[in-house]
Amino acid sequence: MRISTRARYGLRVIVELAREYGKGPITVREIARRQELSRKYIERLISSMRSAGLVRAARGVNGGYVLARTPREVSVLEVFSLLEGSAPVVDCLDEHGFCPRQRKCVTRGIWEELDRAVRKTLGARTVADLAEQRETRGTVRGPRLPGLMGAVKGSIGGGFDENRP
């Protein structure tokens, strides 16, 4: 399973907006500087977020962008679904993706568990949780929820090591 750069970078952008919540707008230029991302790419991400009602534009000399709701009201799952789509981890779990082997597929249960674990992990955190964490040497430190790999490991009997890159 691979997460797109759109979802990863979009989450970084929304965390910057969450860190500035209540302080006023932040410019695309400042987000780009802090996150070391292209301004053009950030503008495309913010356009999607504006259309979905997550972000508002503030015009004028001190203009920029702000979160439309409080950071505690925006789940990581909501941002992820907006940018990555709400499709399950495998096509056969899609409500429109009928699989003729559905009733006799021995692997379907694993994919359902993985899909639930991903959604549970992303839904359990808000952008405020991420915004409150501090970046240290490329890793984010802060309160740790039960990890996705731990949830998957426990539910499907191992094979995953959440400490491996």
Tens-digit pLDDT profile for residues 4-23: 899 999 999 999 999 999 99
Q: pLDDT value at position 160?
A: 44
Question: What letter represents residue 7's amino acid?
Answer: A
pTM for this one? Answer: 0.74
The Cα–Cα gap between 66 and 64 comes to 7
Q: 148 Cβ partners below 8 Å, 6+ apart?
A: 117, 118, 121, 162
Q: pLDDT value at position 120?
A: 93
Task: Look at 101 and 35; give whichever has higher pLDDT.
Answer: 35
Tell me: the pLDDT tens digits for 26-73? 999 999 999 999 999 999 999 999 999 999 999 988 899 999 999 999
Which stretches of 41-88 are assigned E, i.e. beta strand?
Answer: 55-58, 64-67
| Burial class (CB within 10 angstroms; exposed 0-12, middle 13-18, buried 19+) of 157 | exposed
Highest-confidence range of 104-108, 111-115, 129-133, by mean pLDDT? 129-133
The CA angle 70-76-80, to the nearest 5 degrees, is: 125
Integer CA distances (angstroms), 15 to 51, 111, 126, in order? 18, 29, 10
% of the chain residues with pLDDT over 70: 75
Task: Look at 130 and 62; give whichever has higher pLDDT.
Answer: 130
Instruction: Give the right CATH number for 5-155 from 3.20.20.70, 1.10.10.10, 3.40.50.970, 2.60.120.680.
Output: 1.10.10.10
Given a contact cutoff of 8 angstroms between Cβ atoms, the answer to whether 129 and 143 are in contact is yes
Q: pLDDT value at position 98?
A: 66
Q: pLDDT value at position 25?
A: 96
User: How do the domains of the chain map onto residue ranges?
Assistant: 5-155
The Cα–Cα gap between 110 and 152 comes to 9
Tell me: the pLDDT tens digits for 135-145? 654 554 444 55
Please report the sign of the dihedral spanned by the C-alpha atoms of residue 83, residue 143, residue 88, residue 68. negative
